[in-house]
């Protein structure tokens, strides 16, 4: 296995270098999935929406029955302290996490009093905005009645992972994932947008996917520039008929879709506008 990129983790009051061991075989999160995380980015000397990512990890923890005990101001301060351990222009992933060490009744729910916290910062380059190829996944997003879809919870991601693995086995990079009614929800890693006749459209949040922080930021920036953005129910047929398609997410920010099933697409003007506006906003 290849070595980890440069990594620093704040745990139990100290900074530790590398991939720090944190779990044993009886740790609740190890075998029963009680972990939440969030992901912010540092790139080109900026950390856009860092506070909102820290707020969301605390919200996710409460959703899973954990007891978050690190406030946003402290988390932001720790992040900026950790950033000093990297070159000023390093591209980093910023990942605060909570998990349960012990279980409650018959071990199944987490014991909130056993909640632990860490903050992990590590180097990972920003993906090149050259474009991705999407296919329609046979797998679906769960509903709120089935899974904690209103949290950024680790237990949700094996489903995303199998959608991506299935897509890659068929020669694509990623997948459009539908909700249980068959409407488009997101991709395996990010929220998704399309344009048609000058209007930007994106799936309306319906409890099956996270209303991403970068998604919300892009909607706000486009609307402030006079672009019409509509959140609505969208089908696979809508995307196949789109003038352009792009995705938004914290890891890669804004990426164009250059192939959807067997249809070739070009990076479009709305993607370029959104990416330019996001970079300008982040550096402002």
The answer to whether residues 109 and 66 touch, using CB atoms and an 8 Å cutoff, is no
Tokens encoding 29: 């999160």
> What are the C-alpha distances in Å from 190 to residues 26, 99, 102, 207, 251?
32, 23, 32, 15, 9
Are residues 193 and 234 both part of a single domain?
Answer: yes
What is the arithmetic mean of pLDDT over 95-110? 94
Residue 1 has pLDDT above 70, yes or no: no
- Kindly state whether residue 110 falls inside one of the protein's structural domains: yes
What is the arithmetic mean of pLDDT over 97-121? 96
pLDDT value of residue 98: 98
Burial of 194 (0-12, 13-18, 19+ CB in 10 A): buried
**The overall pTM is greater than 0.85:** yes
- Kindly state whether residue 260 falls inside one of the protein's structural domains: yes
For residue 231, report the phi and psi dihedrals to the nearest 5 degrees.
Answer: -95, 120
pLDDT value of residue 106: 86
Tokens encoding 68: 């978050």
Are residues 74 and 172 both part of a single domain?
Answer: no
What is the arithmetic mean of pLDDT over 85-97? 97
Q: pLDDT by residue (tens digit) across 170-216?
A: 999 999 999 999 999 999 999 999 999 999 999 999 999 999 999 99
Within 10 Å of residue 21's Cβ, how many Cβ atoms?
Answer: 7
Residue 31 has pLDDT above 80, yes or no: yes
Round to the nearest angstrom and report the end-to-end CA distance of the chain: 40
- Kindly state whether residue 1 falls inside one of the protein's structural domains: no
**Alpha carbons 61 and 204: distance in angstroms, whole number:** 24
Residue 125 has pLDDT above 90, yes or no: yes
pLDDT value of residue 251: 95
Q: pLDDT by residue (tens digit) across 144-178?
A: 999 999 999 999 999 999 999 999 999 999 999 99
pLDDT value of residue 2: 62
- 213: domain CATH number is 3.20.10.10
Domain that holds residue 247: 132-283
């Amino acid at each position: 296995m290849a070595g980890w990129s440069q990594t620093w983790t704040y745990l139990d009051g100290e900074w530790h270098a590398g991939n720090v061991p944190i779990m044993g075989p009886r740790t609740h999160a190890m075998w029963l999935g009680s972990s939440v995380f969030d992901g912010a980015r540092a790139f080109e000397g900026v950390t856009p929406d860092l506070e909102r990512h820290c707020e969301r990890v605390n919200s996710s923890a409460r959703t899973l029955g954990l007891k978050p005990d690190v406030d946003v101001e402290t988390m932001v301060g720790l992040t900026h302290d950790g950033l000093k351990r990297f070159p000023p222009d390093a591209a980093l992933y910023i990942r605060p996490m909570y998990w349960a060490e012990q279980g409650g009744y018959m071990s199944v729910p987490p014991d909130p009093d056993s909640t632990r916290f860490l903050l992990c910062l590590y180097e990972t380059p920003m993906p090149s905005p050259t474009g991705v190829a999407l296919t329609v996944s046979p797998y679906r997003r769960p509903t709120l009645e089935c899974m904690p879809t209103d949290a950024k919870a680790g237990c949700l991601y094996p489903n995303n992972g199998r959608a991506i693995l299935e897509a890659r086995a068929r020669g694509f990079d990623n997948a459009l994932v539908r909700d249980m009614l068959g409407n488009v929800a997101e991709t395996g890693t990010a929220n998704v947008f399309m344009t048609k006749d000058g209007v930007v459209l994106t799936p309306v949040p319906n409890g099956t996917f996270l209303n991403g922080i970068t998604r919300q930021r892009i909607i706000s920036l486009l609307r402030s520039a006079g672009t019409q953005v509509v959140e609505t129910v969208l089908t696979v047929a809508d995307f196949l008929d789109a003038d352009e398609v792009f995705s938004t997410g914290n890891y890669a920010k804004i990426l164009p879709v250059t192939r959807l099933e067997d249809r070739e697409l070009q990076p479009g003007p709305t993607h370029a506008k959104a990416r330019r506006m996001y970079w300008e906003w982040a550096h402002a």
